Chains A and B, each alone.
Chain A
Amino acid sequence: MVAVFAALLGAMLLGRLRWRLPAHACLALCFGLSAWLFLFEVYSPSFGFAIPWLQF
């Protein structure tokens, strides 16, 4: 999570300095790490990505 926020802050600061390409690279890194962390957080060894306790 620290790496995600560090990449995000880096993107913001680089954007302020008008270094667009490094800023976009940091933002892409932040997005990739966030998506990976989200999948890591919601994955369960028993249920995979399903929510079996939620039934309609």
Chain B
Amino acid sequence: MAAVLTDAAAPPPAPTAPVVVHGGLLVQIGYLYLLLMMLAIAGILSTAMVLQYAFGEIPCPLCLLQRVAMFGAATAIAAQFRHGFTWRNVGISQVFTLLLLVISVRQTLLDISPRPGHEYIGTAVLGLHMPVWSIIIAFALIAGDALAMLILGGGTAMERAKLAAHPRLARAGEWASRYLILICAINLVSVVLQCGLGQCHTMGYRLLGTLPEGAS
């Protein structure tokens, strides 16, 4: 009788069944979309770096700022894989995407009608110049996030989802994040060589002594 009473007073055993997250497929699609956006940004940044180091196209200040905006958006996306999904990270990504859009639209307008004496467009990739690619990636990020909010914003599936349940996506996100950090570090070294502590110019690298005389 005493044993029965003890059993009745004991707390119920912890559930052993996994917590079911509703919208599992949608969550996977959500993370897949984030991964694809991260890879697209990494691809565009890598292309820009190839154009810089292999073909000698030194980036202009606005081009460098577009790289920064893309890195910023990608950092917020990487945080979704590192810390779990939050709408705050979506907001950070959107803020940097807006910055990217403003800078790239301004530069595209300058490329359409260049300021006299400042004609510098660069090589086209698949028929489009880099600022136009920046506009496309900015629109894709904004549209994708809007779609994600439309579909997933009504619930908490993304926040409650455990990325460990999708190991392939988690691993891919991890490697993409590491790659982004690597190319960001390369860009930092490159910017130090190009700009030093002063203004950036497209005529040469300040610290390598290839900048023409008279450039400030």
Contacts and interface: CB of A to CB of B under 8 A. Distances in A.
A12 B112 CA distance: 35
Contacts of B211: none
Interface string A1-37: 1101110110111011010100110010011001101
Given A15-B79, A38-B62, A53 B116 contact: yes
Interface string A39-51: 0011000000001
Contacts of A38: 62, 65, 99, 102-103, 106
Interface in B18-53: none
Contact of B68 (A5, A15, A24, A55): A5
A16 B178 CA distance: 9
Contacts, number: 93
Interface stretch (B2-10, B134-142, B146-154, B192-200): B192-200
Contacts of B69: 34
Contacts of B176: none
Nearest to A56: B113
A42 B72 CA distance: 21
Given A12-B181, A15-B75, A5 B99 contact: no
A18 B82 CA distance: 8
**Prevailing SS type, chain B contact patch:** helix
A8 B191 CA distance: 13
A13 B79 CA distance: 11
Given A5-B68, A15-B79, A15-B82, A31 B95 contact: yes
Given A1-B61, A2-B195, A27-B92, A11 B188 contact: no
B58 interface: no
Contacts of B65: 4, 34, 37-38, 41
Contacts of A27: 72, 75-76, 92
Contact of B82 (A4, A16, A34, A51): A16
A13 B181 CA distance: 8
A8 B71 contact: yes
Contacts of A35: 99
Given A9-B188, A18-B82, A37 B109 contact: no
B132 interface: no
Interface in B169-216: 177, 180-181, 184-185, 187-188, 191-192, 195-197, 200
